[in-house]
Amino acid sequence: MRTIKCVDILLPKVAEPEKWAVVSCDQFTSQREYWKELESFVGDAPSALKLIFPEVYLEDEDGEERTMKINATMKEYLDTNVFYTLRDSFILVKRDTEERTRLGLMVAIDLEDYSYAYPTDAPLRATEGVVHDRIPPRLKIRRDAPIELPHILVVMDDRKGRVIESLYENRDNYEKLYDFDLNMRGGHLTGYKVDKKEVFDRLALYEKDIDGLYGVDTDFSLAVGDGNHSLATAQAHWNEIKGNLTAEERETHPARFALCELENLHDNGIVFEPIHRVVFGVDKADFIKTLADNLRGSGSLEIIDGESTFISCNPIGAECIAEVQKVIDEYIATKGGVVDYIHGLGHLKGVAKEKDGVAIVMPTIKKEELFGYVVKHGNLCRKAFSMGEAEEKRYYYECHKIVKD
């Protein structure tokens, strides 16, 4: 499979791995108390927390200073041998949470094979629309960063369990690299170094399985399940760099390849959760009336403003989400207000109460329909689904150097 590559992976040499690994920066975006508690727990220990820009702080005035500190800490960690290098490797990962267990494979993907446009012939495709305004602030952070910490999840439609599940069956034959509890109710993480020839052989079987599966002639074999804006930013960064490289240099430059976790869509541990909306800074009664006036169908959408009410909506999950988002966007564009995207019903209610907002409980998309939908219709609406709840999101542990030595 041409899109998936084997690269050098950086792993931390730390005495307290539970302080190194932290949840994805795009989680808990309205809950500063989460990040403050995490900062207190980490303290002075080496940590991925000091290498990321939690999005809860993106609108703060100290963004420039924070970015410079992050990049300086990355360079410090490289210079002081906080990392060791796993050469030309794949890592099989197992993530246990309170509710479920899922498997993954740390791989690099070729950014030349990725596209968030539609239509496209790219083997790796986005599953949701990209908000272009979200790329520049992320690109600004990445430009001077010597390493990347991935929270990108890419999924494969491996209905026969050819790749990751088969590798996991052989885990006793692999070197265990890490095995520890995660902080902040994140569960447990285990990693194994796997044989790369075995990986490529199994990927070849997967490619044969999906040939013709969707009823059209397509190279589509991988989809972005989470972290689409991060992947789009990595591609934008690569597009900036490659213009100054020779054809030969472009083939091997590390910024061309983005580290991510590959998962099987059909893993029982992967659950598609809705991403709810909370709208605040609006006339709540007027906003709710606008929703009710513009949504139609035999479905039912729960709106929470102190108490729950229900309005009619499209019964098809993907279409309902797109229609709700359209109403929100148009309302804010004409009358003002702010929308936030919240993982988990409990978090949604808490944020809506704290900010005196209107909470919208969004419908769920069936994961089995994902690949077929993308082939036929292109991207889903932005923030259409989430792979798991906030605490189940990917934790940063593995890193990848994106600058030449």
Q: What is the CATH classification number for the domain harbouring 330?
A: 3.30.1760.10
Same domain? For 251 and 280 the reply is no
Q: What percent of the chain has pLDDT over 70?
A: 100
Same domain? For 182 and 308 the reply is no
**What pLDDT sits at residue 320?**
94
251: buried, middle or exposed (CB in 10 Å: 19+, 13-18, 0-12)?
A: exposed
Per-residue pLDDT of the chain (405 residues; tens, 9 = 90+): 899 999 999 999 999 999 999 999 999 998 999 999 999 999 999 999 999 999 999 989 999 999 999 999 999 999 999 999 999 999 999 999 998 999 999 999 999 999 999 889 999 999 988 888 889 989 999 999 999 999 999 999 999 999 999 999 999 999 999 999 999 999 999 999 999 999 999 999 999 999 999 988 899 999 999 999 999 999 999 999 999 999 999 999 999 999 999 999 999 999 998 999 999 999 999 999 999 999 999 999 999 999 999 999 999 898 899 999 999 999 999 999 999 999 889 999 999 999 999 999 999 998 888 998 899 888 998 889 988 888 999 999 999 999 998
Alpha-carbon span 103 to 268, nearest angstrom: 9
Same domain? For 123 and 99 the reply is yes
Same domain? For 267 and 280 the reply is no
Same domain? For 105 and 15 the reply is yes
Domain count, the chain: 2
Same domain? For 213 and 321 the reply is no
Cα–Cα nearest to 210, from 259, 172, 159, 148? 159
On whether residue 377 sits in a domain, the answer given is: no
Output the pTM of the full model: 0.88
Distances in whole angstroms, Cα of residue 86 to Cα of each of 11, 66, 244, 346, 398: 7, 29, 29, 40, 10
Assigned token pair, 57 = 């702080």
**What pLDDT sits at residue 172?**
97
On whether residue 190 sits in a domain, the answer given is: yes
On whether residue 373 sits in a domain, the answer given is: no
**What pLDDT sits at residue 81?**
97
Question: Cβ distance 209 to 160 under 8 Å?
Answer: yes
On whether residue 86 sits in a domain, the answer given is: yes
Alpha helices in 128-193 (DSSP H): 135-143, 164-169
Same domain? For 101 and 187 the reply is yes
On whether residue 116 sits in a domain, the answer given is: yes
Q: State which residues form the domain around 161.
A: 4-271+388-401
On whether residue 141 sits in a domain, the answer given is: yes
Alpha-carbon span 248 to 364, nearest angstrom: 46
Same domain? For 122 and 203 the reply is yes
Same domain? For 193 and 310 the reply is no
On whether residue 375 sits in a domain, the answer given is: no
Question: Cβ distance 109 to 124 under 8 Å?
Answer: yes
**What pLDDT sits at residue 222?**
98
- Backbone phi, psi, residue 311, to 5°: -125, 160
Same domain? For 73 and 138 the reply is yes
CA triple 225-229-230, angle to 5 deg: 90
What DSSP string runs through 190-241? Answer: EEEEE-HHHHHHHHHHHHHHHTTTTSS-----EEEEE-HHHHHHHHHHHHHH
Strand partners, 258: 109
> CA dihedral defined by 60, 63, 388, 390, rounded to 10 degrees?
-50
Alpha-carbon span 140 to 63, nearest angstrom: 10
On whether residue 279 sits in a domain, the answer given is: yes
Place of tokens 């740390």: 106
Alpha-carbon span 316 to 381, nearest angstrom: 13
Same domain? For 261 and 289 the reply is no
Alpha-carbon span 276 to 364, nearest angstrom: 10
**What pLDDT sits at residue 120?**
92
Alpha-carbon span 167 to 387, nearest angstrom: 22
**What pLDDT sits at residue 373?**
86
Assigned token pair, 365 = 């998309």
Same domain? For 294 and 308 the reply is yes
Question: Cβ distance 74 to 145 under 8 Å?
Answer: yes
Residues 6+ away with beta carbon under 8 Å from 323? 294, 295, 313, 314
Cα–Cα nearest to 227, from 52, 42, 98? 52
